[in-house]
Amino acid sequence: MPMNSDNLTPLIGMTLPELRDVASGVGLKPFAAKQMAAWLYQRNVSDIDEMTDISKAARQRLKESFCIGREAPKTAACSADGTVKYLFEGAGGRDIEAVYIPDKDRATLCVSSQAGCKMNCSFCMTGRQGFHGNLTAARIINQILSIPQSDSLTNIVFMGMGEPTDNLDAVMKAIAILTEPWGMGWSPKRITVSSIGHLAGLKTLLEATKVHIAISVHSPFPSERESIMPVERAFPAHKVMELLRKYDFAHQRRLSVEYIMWDGFNDDIRHAEALARLTKGTSARVNLIRYHALPGDLRRPASKAAMEAFRDRLNSLGITATIRASRGEDIDAACGMLAGKQLNQ
């Protein structure tokens, strides 16, 4: 779908079969699709005229209907800890955010898949905004290709704005572009997709890709989880675990359980033990995340002592659990804080 003011269709975000259709439409042989993919995803060009192994006449024909589709971030906000939050044009007139997180020899980009979100989790700034539209594969891939640190990225996590399984076609295309030899050729082990646990979407991800999976649980008790994540009604956590037990997470891919911790809500040993029972047999590791309070929210983050006791109880039950370091809190880039707004708005 055309996305820029000149009514040109972006080439980034296209898979090899789609590029073959483009090639044939401008009178090029099918092998030109691989050449275009290499220019787009390996050489990171920003102008069709840079594709110098495609004839000038064919480039001219391409330019009549297509553009590369690269769009620079509108703004960047830098945290004291090195995290950088980038604002990009999203969908439905709303902007979206991607967060660059350097950490020793790793450089992770947390990308968005939707503008807003339908899932309405009560602890999430994105959820508070409602849903404004799905990102195209072009706009997902653009976040990765158009930040200044693009060449040094080591990992991609689909943990930004939106629920990836609710925009699965575009997310699957982005994963193909990241991992296929004609694309960026990354190992799927460098990619994690986070989900609230949409069963059909998860099944597709598990069968068609080898990426790591992260599931947002946040409470092992159905009514309590439903009180903060309405999606529990449609996709109960125990059903999600039932599905995940059918797949091997001990060897080729990793399963993480995300667990945000609130003071006096879900931070005691009873919860740790119930979480251990819920995830039994899945090989999941648990990431414990301190809550980042949203404006007007009276809930408080769990204390360091409670989080450490929770972690230790899980570890004693044979579950690998770690407390995730909070990054980018001073620029509203930490987990659950993404709003698609400039800081000075």
List residues near ligand SF4 by CB under 6 A.
117, 119-121, 124, 126-127, 161-163, 196
Q: In the complex, what is the shortest distance from the CB of residue 128 to ligand SF4, in angstroms, rounded to a whole number?
A: 8
Cβ closer to ligand SF4: 55 or 120? Answer: 120
* Residue ranges in the chain assigned as alpha helix (H): 16-25, 32-37, 56-65, 125-128, 137-145, 168-179, 199-208, 222-228, 237-244, 269-279, 304-316
The string of DSSP letters for 143-180 reads: HHHSSTTGGG--EEEE-SSS-GGGGHHHHHHHHHHHHS
Q: In the complex, what is the shortest distance from the CB of residue 206 to ligand SF4, in angstroms, rounded to a whole number?
A: 18
CA-CA distance, 189 to 157, in Å (whole number)? 11
Cβ closer to ligand SF4: 188 or 230? Answer: 230
Q: In which region does residue 197 sit, left (phi positive, over 0), alpha (psi from -120 to 50) or beta (all else)? A: left
- Does 258 qualify as catalytic in the annotation? no
**Phi, psi of 139, rounded to the nearest 5 degrees:** -75, -25
Sign, Cα dihedral of 304, 307, 313, 315: negative
Q: In the complex, what is the shortest distance from the CB of residue 289 to ligand SF4, in angstroms, rounded to a whole number?
A: 11
Cβ closer to ligand SF4: 14 or 289? Answer: 289
CA-CA distance, 301 to 259, in Å (whole number)? 12
- Of all helices (H) and strands (E), which one includes residue 321? strand 321-323
Estimate the crossing angle of helix 137-145 against helix 168-179, to 10 degrees.
40
CA-CA distance, 325 to 334, in Å (whole number)? 10
CA-CA distance, 56 to 261, in Å (whole number)? 58
Cβ closer to ligand SF4: 292 or 313? Answer: 292
Task: Please tell me which residue in 97, 163, 232, 258 is annotated as part of the active site.
Answer: 97
| Residue with the shortest CB distance to ligand SF4 | 127
Cβ atoms of 321 and 314 closer than 8 Å: yes
Q: In the complex, what is the shortest distance from the CB of residue 162 to ligand SF4, in angstroms, rounded to a whole number?
A: 6
- Does 121 qualify as catalytic in the annotation? no
Cβ closer to ligand SF4: 51 or 338? Answer: 338
Q: In the complex, what is the shortest distance from the CB of residue 127 to ligand SF4, in angstroms, rounded to a whole number?
A: 3
Q: In the complex, what is the shortest distance from the CB of residue 116 to ligand SF4, in angstroms, rounded to a whole number?
A: 8
First-residue to last-residue Cα distance in the chain:
30
Rg for the chain (alpha carbons), in Å?
Answer: 21
Cβ closer to ligand SF4: 28 or 211? Answer: 211
Cβ closer to ligand SF4: 44 or 120? Answer: 120
Residue type, 193: V
Location of structure tokens 């039932």: 242
Residue type, 128: R
Q: In the complex, what is the shortest distance from the CB of residue 326 to ligand SF4, in angstroms, rounded to a whole number?
A: 16
Question: What is the 8-class DSSP label of residue 39?
Answer: I
Catalytic residue positions, numbered: 97, 335
